[in-house]
Structure 1
Amino acid sequence: MNGFAHSAIGFGVGFAIAETSAASPFETVLLISAGSLSALVPDLDINGKLTNRMTLPHQFLKTITTVAGCLIIYLTLTHVLQIEMWQGIGLGVALIGTAQWISKRFMLSITGMLIIAAGLFISKIWLTLFGAYVLIASFLSHRTYTHSLLGLGTFACIAWLFSRDMNMNDLFFACSFGYASHLLADMRWVPGNKKGIKLFLPLSKKSF
């Protein structure tokens, strides 16, 4: 199932929670947004819609890094930079080499680190934990731990801390149920999902 469909289901989840809790217009918008975005979170383990929204274009960073490496080599060879030639050339080559490794997953890892730093800076545990979630997800294979009960439980804990910080209990349900809707929609009982998800990782690799 694609990201738009997952987001639409999460939208419906958030709207249903808002309706059942008689939420105000502002709270309704917040719950719908939380449900819609949370429904995309499991796909942080792949280059999906949420990954693209959370990171800078990796091609841009790759180009900038490559140009910087070439420029350092040129400035070293023309003696503009007052450093040893082998150091300048080495630094330039290192930057060019690093650029070849820059990808959307690399950008997602950097984003996770920045979120962790932001959470620590403003003393928000839920934000720090979410940053850790993003960082770990950037190293995982698709439809593994983020698509398991372990992933759901981890995200639910983050959602609980977030809802407490916002003093809005319904946010916990919007986030958790939005996330859970993604897992349900990716299960094998849905037409087109031959692969399914390994719901009980790491205890079992059986697909559902």
Structure 2
Amino acid sequence: MNGTAHAAIGAATGFIVANTFQASPSETALFVGLGAVSGLMPDLDIDGKLRGKITLSHKLIQMAAQLIGILMIFYSFYEGSAREKWLGLGIGLGIMVVAGFIKQKHMLTITGIGVLMGGISLAEIWLILLGVYIIIASLSSHRSYTHSILGVIFFGVIASKFEVSVGIEGVFYCCLGGYISHLIADLKILPFNKRGIKLLLPVSKIEL
């Protein structure tokens, strides 16, 4: 199933939750949006449809990192002591070399690290956990852990913390429902799916 269909099903799930909780028009719009996003989250994994949508070009990150490396070298030579000059040179060159190895496939991991650091900076548990989720997803094969019961539980914890943070009742069910709707839509028992999902990982690798 394509991303548009997953988003639509997730949005519908959010709308149902909004009606269940008799949400206001603004909250209903929020729930629909959260449901749509949550319905796409499992596809953040490797080769998933969503991973390329939320990341910047790796060339932009390469350029920024290389610029930082150059600036560090110049700064250390102008402002540092003899030892600091050589240390700055080494670190600057190291950054430039590492930047050269950054590929597009690494961008989701970098995004996850950024979200994680943002969560730490803001002291938001849900954002920290979301960063961890994105990092794990970036290293997981498609339709594996993000499409499993473990993935549902982990995302459920994120949704729970997010609801506490925003203080809007129903956010948890909206996010979790949207996420689960994706897994249901990817089940092999549905005639339009050639592949299923490994729902019971790591206990079983059988596709359902």
2:25 partner letter:
P
Contact 2:48 2:142 in 1 (8 A): no
Match of 1:19 in 2: 19
Q: CA deviation at 1:59?
A: 4.0
Contact 1:119 1:126 in 2 (8 A): yes
Alignment of 1:1-208 (within 5 A): 1-62=1-62, 64=63, 91=93, 95=96, 98-103=99-104, 105-208=105-208
Partners of 1:192 and 1:100 in 2: CA distance: 39
Q: TM-score, with normalisation over the residues of structure 1?
A: 0.82
Contact 2:66 2:99 in 1 (8 A): no
* 1:9–1:97 Cα change, 3 Å: same
Match of 2:74 in 1: none
Number of aligned positions between the proteins: 195
Gap regions ≥5 residues in structure 2: 71-76, 79-84
Partners of 1:119 and 1:164 in 2: CA distance: 15
* 1:117–1:101 Cα change, 3 Å: closer
Q: CA deviation at 1:65?
A: 6.7
* 1:123-174 deviation digits (Å, cap 9, x = unpaired): 1111101101101111111111000000001000110111111112210011
Match of 1:75 in 2: none
Partners of 2:204 and 2:59 in 1: CA distance: 38
Gap regions ≥5 residues in structure 1: 73-80
* 1:100-131 deviation digits (Å, cap 9, x = unpaired): 4411x311111111111111111111110110
1:187 partner letter:
L
Between the aligned residues of both structures, percent identity stands at 45
* 1:192–1:101 Cα change, 3 Å: farther
* 1:21–1:107 Cα change, 3 Å: same
* 1:5-39 deviation digits (Å, cap 9, x = unpaired): 11011011111111222110110011011100001
Q: CA deviation at 1:193?
A: 1.8
